[in-house]
Amino acid sequence: MKILSAAAFALLSVTAINTTAVAQNKDYPIQPVSFTSVHVHDHFWEPKMEVNANVTIPYTLQQCKLNGRVDNFLRAAGQLSGDKLSDFPFDDTDIYKVIEGASYAMQVKKNPKLDKYVDSLITIIGAAQEKDGYLYTFRTVKAAKPHEWIGAKRWEKEEELSHELYNSGHLFEAATAHYQATGKKNFLNIAIKNADLLVRVFGPGKLQEYPGHQIVEIGLSKMYRVTGNKNYLDLAKFFLDVRGPKGDAYNQADKRVVDQHEAVGHAVRAAYMYTGMADIAALTGDTKYLTAIDDIWDDVTDKKLYITGGIGATGNGEAFGKAYELPNMSAYAETCAAIGNVYWNNRMFLLHGDAKYIDVLERTLYNGLLSGVSLSGNRFFYPNPLSSMFQHQRSAWFSCACCISNMTRFLPSVPGYVYAKNNNDLYVNLFMTSTATVPLKTGKVTVEQTTEYPWKGKVDLAITPNKAAQFTMRIRIPGWAKQQPVPGDLYSFNTNNTLPVTLLLNGSPMNYQTEKGYAVVKRTWKKGDKLTLLLPMPVQKVLANPNVKDDRNRFAFEKGPIIYCLEGPDNKDSLVQNIMIARNALVKTQYRAGLLNGVDVITVKGVSTRRQLNSDSLIKTEQDVTAIPYYAWANRGPSEMTVWIPYENNAVTPKPAPTIASLSKVSSSLKNTRMFNAIKDQYEPADSKDTNYPYMHWWPKKNTTEFVQYDFDKPYTISSSSVYWFDDGPWGGCRIPDNYKLFYKRDGQWVEVKNTTPYQNEKDKMNMVKFEPVNTTAIKMELRLPADNATGIHEWVIK
């Protein structure tokens, strides 16, 4: 097989897409400009990529070692005794993905020490590979008690949870990236050996199984681009065509892929599959996949996309929800899904040349993806909620660390989304200070971009062709600059005051035509030519489609591509859920260099709200309100946060009235104190499975006796208790308790109350019990968890 030289391959590659590496007849009509050809040196992205290279990648490599990922390979290679492995059979991919990220980072900036360490990892990986090319540490180790997701034979449980092909897919992506970065074939040869095994095992007349978790399709496409081995492309297509229709919607296998027209199931698997379908459609010229992914894209952008660009509404299956199901506090919006959404939308642009795909890509990039990593580079989000009441905190590591390793490989590739080309058309998709050299049909063109984006809307483009030549510049006019937050009607702006987008040629305003969202400037360009794009950047208030019930009577702030949120540290009493702001409120913006590594903040007048006893009317107090970029939240410790801000009373969550419960101190058999305030926040759940606001739960405990208690601020005479259980059956892990009892404190001892009505114990209602009045300083609820489930509490009211 012919392998393209690494130098040639580097010129033809970008992020997850590597353009024609061999003599291929078919490919994307539009070609990306490699991130290695785009040198970013702005105040926004360059520091983030440096933190990734200097902090996140070394940190993740260290955590992989500390958390058993390296030991998995050492044991499989027979270089370490024992059969103890890490938690999940897909943990091998964390090593692959961080090698991919390290490879990309080394292309941006040489790092001999990192290069040497990566080579040592590759040596260990190679030693763990079986003779026929099989590479899957969880089987090769031959543990006395194999992981339950592994079948007795290879690939026996692939359509379920074994992740053997998922591991291969990330191996292929990492190996091609490493070869591209270093020119060394040590990792690529391992990948080729594994890919050749897959070709021998799977396909027509062979093993007819599809990947349980899609990604191998993308990986095989990359291998084809590097090696020219068409067997890899054919196998990628086979894995798509053999999928469905008798599988599960959870992993998009309930229908043949060409018969799928709505986004369903696990959001990461879905985005990876749609990306793979685009790749294979482009590389084979077989367009039968395109109708499907076009329809699915419309379904997502019209009904299932968060304003942050996040996808995947529910933690139940990490999945898409129903149409317009976009809860905020329980939003899943996994970081991996945001990365997958960028991959997919980039492919859609390369197929269709329409700016609407870059609009979604940009929204995701600046908001729901960037929020996944802390400003420090060593704390992470797995889900990216749009509202919080202290229960969400960034973590140093996850046992399932896919999002962390995914972020390491994505950030170095960001410059690869800035430009694209098609013959003599040069697309400017994203705006960041950078220098790029782009080969067009007429010759090479150097573009120097200067901007303070995303805080300011002026973009200067100095265009220097090698020689005077005619070609076309296509500059994206973002949808948000044309009063359209996203394609379709899922979101709109509060006002329809369209401000002009100005384009200057060599300092003079010009009339320009637009095609598919791009300003089109065709002329003979010469050295010294300059285009200036002036994008209006007022603060906009975004409204959601009325079908999105969770966002009714609320708006979100947006300025340029940046979505804003209210966060506790910037606002009175560190509270934001109780804030209301008028729809017509005037706002101010100011750049604060010393806040969150430098951000534009929004300030506005609003009111805080508070409940009062024996009245439905709210107490309102005027206050100053500050909003920060959503991507930067949760960098100052746990807090309240919200993206969607109420402008009507029925949407706000007022500060609780001074009741016995709200003034009490909560303690429990639970160790997670962040849940405690949930049971006294006076939120009225829609039903027992309502996850829109915090709740307290004992999951994953079961068949145990637990307790929760209130210590009052002073003695009270009490005679009733009402509890609203959290029960997310039939799919979740919590059910109402088998039984519960109440005790009050008397002379330092717990004494059971004498109930005068039976203990009610049902879901979807307040369960009241009355008892003989007692004067006490504390009350305790003791509950017995079901044999096979945990129990949770929405609210506990004492009177």
Question: Is there a contact between 556 and 485 (Cβ–Cβ < 8 Å)?
Answer: no
Q: How far is CA 117 from the centre of its chain?
A: 29
pLDDT of residue 614: 84
Looking at the fold, whether 762 and 641 belong to one and the same domain comes out as no
pLDDT at position 18: 39
> Are 77 and 120 in contact, with CB atoms under 8 Å apart?
no
Smallest Cα–Cα separation from 616: which of 646, 654, 577? 654
Q: What's the pLDDT at 22?
A: 42
Whether 489 is in a domain gets the answer no
User: Residue 49's domain is classified under what CATH number?
Assistant: 1.50.10
Structure tokens at 232: 């890899």
Q: Tell me whether residue 485 is in a domain.
A: no
Distance, in Å, from the CA atom of 593 to the CA atom of 610, rounded to the nearest integer, reads 34
**Distance between CA atoms of residues 68 and 680, nearest Å:** 41
Q: Give the pLDDT confidence score for residue 235 in this predicted structure.
A: 98
| Structure confidence at residue 1 (pLDDT) | 59
**Full DSSP string of 169-203:** HHHHHHHHHHHHHH---HHHHHHHHHHHHHHHHBS
The answer on 564 and 514 residing in a single domain is: no
| Residue at 345: amino acid letter | N
What is the structure's pLDDT at 108? 87
Output the domain CATH number for residue 527: 2.60.40
41: tokens are 């040196």
Judgement on whether residues 296 and 392 belong to the same structural domain of the protein? yes
Tell me whether residue 487 is in a domain: no
Q: 234 and 215 in one domain?
A: yes
Whether 736 maps to a domain, the answer reads: yes
Given 371, 399, 417, which residue is the final one in a domain?
A: 417
Please give the distance of CA 759 from its chain centroid, rounded to a whole number: 43
CA nearest to 476, candidates 533, 425, 531? 533
Question: What's the confidence (pLDDT) of residue 560?
Answer: 98
Go through the chain and tell me how many residues it has.
Answer: 799
* Beta pairing partners, 181: none
687 shares its domain with 761: yes
Residue ending a domain, choose from 618, 651, 684: 651
Considering the domain boundaries, does residue 259 fall inside one? Answer: yes
Q: What is the CATH number of the domain that holds 682?
A: 2.60.120.260
Contacts of 478 (CB under 8 A, 6+ apart): 355, 359, 362, 535, 560, 561
Residues 326, 437 within the same domain: no
pLDDT along the chain (799 residues), means of 10: 50 38 71 94 96 97 97 97 96 97 92 96 98 98 96 95 97 96 96 98 97 98 96 98 96 97 98 98 93 97 98 93 96 97 98 98 98 98 95 93 95 96 98 97 97 98 97 98 96 92 97 97 97 97 98 98 98 96 97 97 97 90 98 95 97 93 96 90 92 91 97 97 95 94 96 97 96 97 97 97
Are 690 and 792 members of one domain?
A: yes
Residue 778 within a domain: yes
Does 486 map to a domain? no
Is residue 559 in a domain? Answer: yes
How far is the C-alpha of 335 from the C-alpha of 372, rounded, in Å?
A: 6
How do residues 227-267 score in pLDDT, each as one tens digit?
Answer: 999 999 999 999 999 999 999 999 999 999 999 999 999 99
Both 646 and 680 in a single domain? no
> Are residues 264 and 376 located together in one domain of the fold?
yes
Are residues 100 and 175 both part of a single domain? yes
Same domain, 451 and 545: no
The residue from 651, 676, 696 where one domain ends is 651
Q: What is the CA radius of gyration of the chain?
A: 28
Nearest to 15 by CA among 311, 275, 300, 269: 275
Which residue range forms the structural domain that includes residue 692?
A: 665-798
Same domain, 381 and 434: no
Question: What pLDDT, on the 0 to 100 scale, is given for residue 2?
Answer: 56
Domain count for the chain, please give it. 4
The CA distance from 200 to 163, in Å, is: 19
> Residue 531 to residues 427, 462, 793: CA-CA distances in angstroms?
13, 7, 60
